[in-house]
Structure 1
Amino acid sequence: MKPDPAATGKTSRVFFALWPGARVARRLHELGAEAHAECAGRRTRCETLHLTLAFIGDVSPQRLADLIAVGNCVEATPFTLRLDCLGGWRHNRIVWAGAQICPAPLAGLVERLNGALEAAGFAVERRPFAPHVTLLRKAHTQVSARCVEPIDWRVGGFALVESLQTSAGAHYRTLREWRAGEGEGDRCAGKSG
């Protein structure tokens, strides 16, 4: 078992994400197999499939507590994310499953999360949010972008996750999860109520 980074003083590579249940992960993994047959590359393991909301990077143990406080302040509402397209980015050889339409609750969650991160002194992504799940890395050829049979993912919360790099690839450890309705919302901004 790996030591807790907070106990060792080492930095942790972390991000906020949505994590699919077994049914959605299985279907995404199947879609990854289809994409792999088309363009090869390194498939994302079923147990590591996720949708990144905000990538933070390396942080000290002290800043992990700040990130948990950020998560505590962000309110999430349940929603359904429909992943209905397959695409890729040539510049980094990624193949992904994405959504043609970003649900308003997901866009709001990302906006609130980025606002809370920025208020806490963390750098945030400035590019428009594009909901996607990475299926392949190091694709040998560009995937044919297309619509696919929709995968409806019922989202009921989000997580702060640590990325642990090994020779076998990335492994993830959930540091904290927040379910819909758990956020403290306005109380975190110093408002009463």
Structure 2
Amino acid sequence: MCSTPTNRTKRLFFALWPEPKLRALLFKQGRRWLHEHGKQVRSENLHITLSFLGNVPLDDIDCLCTAADGVKTPPFELELDRVGQFQRARVAWIGCTVTPEPLTLLVQTLNRALAACGNKIDPRPYHPHMTLARKIRDPIEPIQFHPFRWSVDRFVLIESVTHSEGVEYRVMRWWGL
């Protein structure tokens, strides 16, 4: 009988995961805005990262889930109202001009809970954004559009899996707000 090695890992992060209708709208709009600029992120991978964990030993996943079980914050409205670019990373994104206070509370509460599992807290200020395209070749001109409104009532734990077709994000578990 073979046993699973205890040093195996999964690449994980906590995120906000859009409903299929919003995901389809964002993907369609991203293709319209950025089709000539770079490689569009697949629709099924669109998300907003709350806390990136990296390669996590399988033995630590229960601790992370238990930590997330204790996170209680109110649901909130997210307004995706601006498109931007990270020049060095060559990434185009959609994000918020104003971060809702409940989202800031969610990130802070989640990170404090995850610290009990040995996760390091990112000291940088949190700026929610959803990557729409990678490998951006040229600067993106300002884009005028009607904001996308998202009623956020849950967060998820995602596993990032790399295979021959690229990266696939798989929801491992979700938590209601």
**TM-score (ref. length: structure 1):** 0.85
Q: Using the alignment, how far apart are the partners of 1:84 and 1:124 within structure 2?
A: 27
- Give the conservation status (yes or no) of the 8 Å contact 2:156–2:171: yes
Aligned equivalents of 2:139, 2:122: Cα separation in 1: 25
Q: Is the 8 A contact 1:77 1:157 kept in 2?
A: no
Q: Deviations over 1:111-165 (max 9, x none)?
A: 1011112233211211111111000011111212445310001111101110001
Q: Is this contact kept in 1: 2:80–2:96, CA < 8 A?
A: yes
TM-superposed deviation, 1:22: 1.4
User: Does the 8 Å contact 1:87/1:144 carry over to 2?
Assistant: no
Aligned residues: 174
Asked whether 1:137 is paired with 2:104, we answer no
Deviates more, 1:9-18 or 1:117-126: 117-126
Please list, as runs of the form range in 1=range in 2, the aligned pairs for 1:77-156 lying within 5 A after superposition. 77-156=74-153
Please show how residues 49-68 of structure 1 align to structure 2 within 5 Å: 49-68=46-65
| SS of alignment partner, residue 13 of structure 1 | strand
Q: TM-score, normalised by structure 2?
A: 0.92
51-60 or 170-179: which moved more? 170-179
2:168 alignment partner, one of 155, 166, 171:
171
Higher helix share: 1
Shift of 1:35: 2.8
Distance in 2, Cα, partners of 1:8 & 1:169: 26
Match of 2:34 among 33, 36, 58: 36
Alpha-carbon distance in 2 for matches of 1:168, 1:94 = 20
Once residues 124 and 148 of structure 1 are traced to their aligned partners in structure 2, the CA distance between those partners, rounded to angstroms, is 34
Distance 2:35 2:158 in 1: 30
CA–CA distance in structure 2, aligned partners of residues 26 and 83 of structure 1 = 14
Change (3 A) 1:110 1:142: same
Instruction: State the match for 2:70 in structure 1.
Output: 73
Aligned to 1:20: 18
The root-mean-square deviation of aligned C-alpha atoms, in Å, is 1.6
Using the alignment, how far apart are the partners of 1:93 and 1:35 within structure 2? Answer: 15
2 CA distance for matches of 1:124 and 1:166?
Answer: 29
The secondary structure found in structure 2 opposite 1:125 is coil
Deviation of the 1:96 alpha carbon:
0.2
Query: Could you list the runs of 5+ residues in structure 2 that have no partner in the other structure?
Result: none
